[in-house]
Amino acid sequence: MAKLLQVDFQYNGPYGQQMADQLLELANSINNEPGMIWKIWTESELEQLGGGIYLFTDETSARNYLNMHSARLQAMGISEVRGKLFDVNQALTLINKGPIGPA
């Protein structure tokens, strides 16, 4: 069953296109993570937050990614990484055109 992973953390920038330019290599590498289907990058300059919403094929892949990503962020000086896993209600998500594929 697909798992949604929500991650956020304190982030002081850069934001927008500057963030995209600086993290292009990281973004490309995320596509190679086991079980990763897609990621939506999230940012809030106002609240000084960075993060993402991910869809993984299974819980094990999502948990493994969260552990690896948390360690990577901590190595970059980000001390508190918040991650939550959710099940996806496929029937309702498909009604609202969520990009999860057929039920």
* pLDDT(61) > 70: yes
Per DSSP, 99 falls in state: S
So what's the pLDDT on residue 100? 81
Predicted confidence (pLDDT) per residue in 71-100, tens digit: 999 998 998 999 999 999 989 998 999 988
Q: Which residues contact 63 (CB under 8 A, 6 or more apart)?
A: 85
Average pLDDT along the chain: 94
What are the domain boundaries of the chain? 3-95
pTM: 0.90
Q: Give me the CATH code for the 3-95 domain, please.
A: 3.30.70.100
pLDDT attached to residue 102: 54
CA distance 58 to 80: 24
